[in-house]
Structure 1
């Protein structure tokens, strides 16, 4: 049986985050970016046009809240899972998302290791669904375990080269109290933004760096990285 390709819709109005989500999707052989929407109305139009298999959904959007989309008859009528990625840390929103069947709930600022694990769980969940023609209790238990399982990210170091990692570490080691944006690290190293993002998120995952969302008067928040104080 040929592996199925699962289309993914990103619903996120912060362009930098949407690009990072897209990078993770492109890295998985069974995931394909279907479209990106920045508003609820755009998301609904894409869902009506050609329903994807998975939606990465933000809650705070310019024309409403993402939780309303999870609760909508439109989404309930589709064979489509939702990974809810949001700054909403209140229990009411979390409970609503769970009651409405969200596959996963991830809080911002996003841990990319956590999001990778969630995408991998979704793919395994969807693949397992394809193999079961008739379910018994054991099969049902397997599906529930896949949805809740916390995978060890054994492949988390793939694509991480030690010399490049040391180069980026040195930037933060020399200025421990200083915050750096992705663009500033690009200027110091001459590497591409995609590469820098991957290494910064790796250092964040292993605890070497911390991240702060810096909100300005105009535009979307910036992710700023700093060496973790020991």
Structure 2
């Protein structure tokens, strides 16, 4: 229980708060510590709680807060707590300021469940990695801040063995699970990019890696117009359905 990542949800709409709570608690290793509706409630809770949460899921549009004032208050008072805005605010200026304020990620409503889970999984691995490191090499820093796709999980030889540069073992594992649960329908690079929250080229790189590793089979998907798209299917599932 104590090893779980404790999350505080700040959301004024009780229906969305409940949805976010369920999304969080579906991800292994997480617990929702509390749900609050306003900035005043959030600050009062943090001041009086027995142990601080590790992560705050923050709606930008809440009644008693102007813009990103609460985010900056939280950064100033509780700099050890990480923040992920989960909000309908999608203005470039707002997103830029939130990232400048140290937001770990930024999720726009309506929330996609897979995208939410992927963000929480990345955050969990981020914390796990930092907990076993006393110093970092440049390539590890690059991975942490998103400069490159290199794996920051070098502490785990079982997950990082023989993977080429640009293939992150956690993302690779997520993709394998998606393909394994696909029930033989197959997936395109565009479809995968939306599910895991990456660019189309990044999704295709992982899929082509799995093809080269002979774990994935490809077929062509013909549409009504344009060139056919490549569909990727877990090889075992493909062979069972063949």
The TM-score with structure 2 as length reference comes to 0.58
Alpha-carbon contact 1:59-1:66 (below 8 Å) kept: yes
- In structure 2, what is the equivalent of residue 13 of structure 1? 12
Q: Which of the two has higher C-alpha Rg?
A: 2
Q: Which residue of 2 aligns with 1:140?
A: 141
Match of 1:27 in 2: 26
Partner of 2:59: 58
Label 1:27 to 1:146 Cα distance change in 2 as closer, same or farther (>3 A): farther
Alignment partner, residue 105 of structure 1: 106
Name the structure, 1 or 2, with higher relative contact order (CA <8 Å, separation 6+). Answer: 1
Check the 8 A contact 1:124/1:146 in 2, yes or no. Answer: no
**Any gaps of 5 or more consecutive residues in structure 2?**
150-167, 184-193, 196-242
2:38 is matched with which residue? Answer: 39
Structure 1 gap segments, 5+ residues each: 163-203, 206-230
Distance 1:81 1:73 in 2: 9
Against the structure 1 CA distance between its residues 8 and 156, is the aligned structure 2 distance closer, same or farther, given a 3 Å change threshold?
A: farther
Find the aligned partners of 1:80 and 1:74 in 2 and give their Cα distance. 8
Cα drift, residue 142 of structure 1: 3.0
Q: Provide Cα deviations, 1:76-119, integer angstroms capped at 9, x if missing partner.
A: 54311111111112111111101101111111111111111111
Asked if structure 2 preserves the Cα contact closer than 8 Å seen for 1:51 and 1:78, the reply is: no
Q: Does the 8 Å contact 1:40/1:63 carry over to 2?
A: yes
Q: In 2 relative to 1, CA 147–88 (structure 1 residues): closer, same or farther, beyond 3 Å?
A: farther
Q: CA deviation at 1:19?
A: 1.2
Q: Shift of the alpha carbon at 1:7?
A: 0.6
Taking structure 1 as the reference length, what is the TM-score of the superposition?
0.61
Equivalent residue number for residue 127 of structure 2: 126
Q: Which secondary structure does the structure 2 equivalent of 1:32 belong to?
A: strand
